[in-house]
Amino acid sequence: MTETGMSRETARLNRRGFLGAAGLAGAGLATAATGVRAAPPATPDPLITDVQDWARVLGDGVQARPYGSPSQFEKHVVRRDVEWLTASRESSVNFTPLHELDGIITPSGLCFERHHGGIAEIDPSKHRLMINGLVDKPMVFTVEDLKRFPGRQNHAYFLECAANSGMEWRGAQLNGCQFTHGMVHNVWYTGIPLKTLLDEAGIRTNAKWLLAEGADSSGMTRSIPLDKGLKDCLVVWSMNGEALRPEQGYPVRLVVPGWEGNMWVKWLRRIEVGDQPWHQREETSKYTDLLADGRSRRFTFIMDAKSVVTNPSPQAPLKHKGPNVLTGLAWSGRGKIGRVDVSIDGGRNWRTARIDGPVLPMSLTRFYVDFDWNGQELMIQSRAIDETGYVQPTKDELRKVRGVNSIYHNNGIQTWLVRANGETENVEIG
Amino acid sequence: MSRSAKVFTAATLCVALAGTGMVLAQQRPAAPAAGAVAAAAHVAAPQRTGLGREAHAAEVAAWAIAIRPDGQGLPPGSGSVKKGEDIYQTQCAACHGEFGEGAGRWPVLAGGRGSLKGENPEKTLGSFWPYLSTTFDYVRRAMPYGNAQSLSNDEVYALTAYIMYLNDLVPESFELTRENFTSVPMPNVGGFYDDDRETTERAFWNPNPCMTDCRPTVPQVTGRARVIDVTPEGRSGPRVE
């Protein structure tokens, strides 16, 4: 199905869902059509009748903001961290403010950060990328070399930390989608296929695994199956059209589409080619999924389909009765999102949301439900279904098969409780 | 612009590009770089650009420090538990605790045996890590925190030996060497298996997910984030208009 075809299909389902949703309307949600418009005020609005400063005096000239920043009135739209999570902020994480964003592209300065040894600040002229191991010739490339390779590509991909929602395994803990789901971002990357560099060095026939290594003080390393490296991994220097930000791996990072964020090695300085995995710290002690029987899954690379309603959510409560826009994000490491369903009664009844914007493989996808709110309590959930037919499970379904100790890969359905006063809370339901 | 003018411009451009020596990359013949070895060694005959340069052996030696469970990559050297204890107390104990118990939220290095099925799994070399090589590799590349790659190979052998000792894996008299490195298996080496979600969680692929009356009863709130109260945010309640 084409992307446009997909959008039409979901729109059709959406309308049908509304028509057949008399029960849902009774629960406080109806199609946006019944608003009663307010009368003119008793006194006119001075914001209209008085000449405001910004309409009278000259503002900043073109020299004042050589690199633009968001409005001074958007200062609250920032990444936030949770201090008690980690022993040191140099090996820690902060979170994307998903509830303040729309569309599918994450602004570069709001992409969550996860470092294991702080941000490496690297002069690109001093950066080197080495390919060694089971190759004809070990090679060294400069950043300028990389930018001269033919076959440059552009892709939008989501990057989700395997531990996103990891604090929620035992129950509702953090009150805001920024904290429960904010270890994900989605940007446009520009770079070259990793295969191009591997071909340049010449891979030996017995090669099966790659080791990607960063230049930071943690010397971050991950083993990656060669097949994945040849299929769609990229070596990139650009995000959203400009150079990578230092906290995202400037000058060069690895892109591993659909797979857990830890593998997307930042400050990429080396690719070793081998015939076995290396079993590094981040694929043994960390990023393995401890199950209820005390054994652990390893190499759980793919990020299962997942979604979250970003508005309303605890940091973005409902403030108005009448017309409102429910929106959220869905993504899958296995390809495109096929459909997103939304429930307002804790998963008893579902309707299919409207998807808007591009539906790209292994990219965030934006969905909407336009609705009227009559002030009744809501239990809002969303459920992603990807093109392989995988249906995002409930948290209890996940716990049944994985227990509560696995830390990573929590893609369970999130519930937001909207109270009569609009206040919205992260809750567990049973 | 008229059609003939466009043709003229394109022709001029081609001549100009050819004159500066520019060749479209797609048209370039797949010429292997000078000195490339026999094609039989390749997965597929690669198209090479000649970009980059060969690495110097000393450059590879400086960066290629990854160690595998089978010992591949281990440097020559050795270190005793006793020597490791001295280094540990000055370089590691401030964060990891005098006995590997962990200070504050810093990682615990010892103990935790039998904890993996419990409420608070403790993932140490003795309880969880499947391979000894991971400890050597990680300490050498990333420790001490904030002064990475400052330890000698012998010091890393000694620290690895000491962490083994803290986990009751070797006696106090033990000395770890490249030669005996793989002789002590880690207790949880059998505790891992490859990702099997696509078979064991097959039920999550559902062609007909329920759309109406999917729960027999009205759901009840069983847990609330606000009760836990650990979110680092102000929480003034909203006003509904």
pLDDT (0 to 100) of residue A36? 72
pLDDT in tens, A167-203: 999 999 999 999 999 999 999 999 999 999 999 999 9
Q: Do the beta carbons of residue A219 and residue B141 sit within 8 Å? A: yes
Q: Taking CB atoms and an 8 Å cutoff, what residues of chain A touch B42?
A: 136, 202-205
> Which CATH fold topology does A3-28+304-427 show?
Immunoglobulin-like (2.60.40)
From A237's Cα to the closest Cα of chain B, the distance in A is 17
Look at B209 and A347 and tell me if their CB atoms are within 8 Å.
no
More confident residue, B114 or A87: B114
Nearest to A263 by CA among A210, A223, A215: A223
- B68 shares contact with chain A (CB less than 8 Å): yes
- What separation, in Å, do the N-terminal and C-terminal C-alpha atoms of chain A show? 37
Rounded to an integer, the average pLDDT of A2-6 is 39
- pLDDT tier, B23 (very low <50, low <70, confident <90, very high otherwise): low
Domain limits of chain A? 3-28+304-427, 108-297
pLDDT (0 to 100) of residue A87? 87
Look at A429 and B142 and tell me if their CB atoms are within 8 Å.
no
For residue A121, pLDDT beyond 90: yes
For all residues of chain B together, what is the average pLDDT? Answer: 85
pLDDT in tens, A218-227: 999 999 999 9
pLDDT in tens, A89-102: 889 999 999 999 99
Q: Taking CB atoms and an 8 Å cutoff, what residues of chain B touch A133?
A: 64
More confident residue, B5 or A304: A304
Domain limits of chain B? 66-183
Mutate to test the interface with A, among B231, B236, B239 (most CBs of A within 10 A): B231
For residue A19, pLDDT beyond 50: no
For residue B35, pLDDT beyond 80: no
For residue B27, pLDDT beyond 50: no
From A388's Cα to the closest Cα of chain B, the distance in A is 8
Rounded Cα gap, residues A304 and A337, in angstroms = 11
- Starting from the edge strand earliest in sequence, which strands make up the sheet with A209-214, in order? A221-225, A209-214, A268-274, A128-133, A139-142, B53-54
CA distances for A266 relative to A40, A141, A214, angstroms: 56, 16, 6
> Which CATH fold topology does B66-183 show?
Cytochrome Bc1 Complex; Chain D, domain 2 (1.10.760)
pLDDT in tens, A388-426: 999 999 999 999 999 999 999 999 999 999 999 999 999
Minimal Cα distance from B192: which residue of A?
A296
Q: Is A297 helix (H, G, I), strand (E, B) or coil?
A: strand
pLDDT (0 to 100) of residue A283? 98
For residue B38, pLDDT beyond 60: no
Nearest to B176 by CA among B228, B132, B226, B122: B132
pLDDT in tens, B200-209: 999 999 999 9
CATH match for A108-297 among 3.40.50.9100, 3.40.50.620, 1.10.357.10, 3.90.420.10: 3.90.420.10
More confident residue, A178 or B233: A178
ipTM at complex level:
0.90
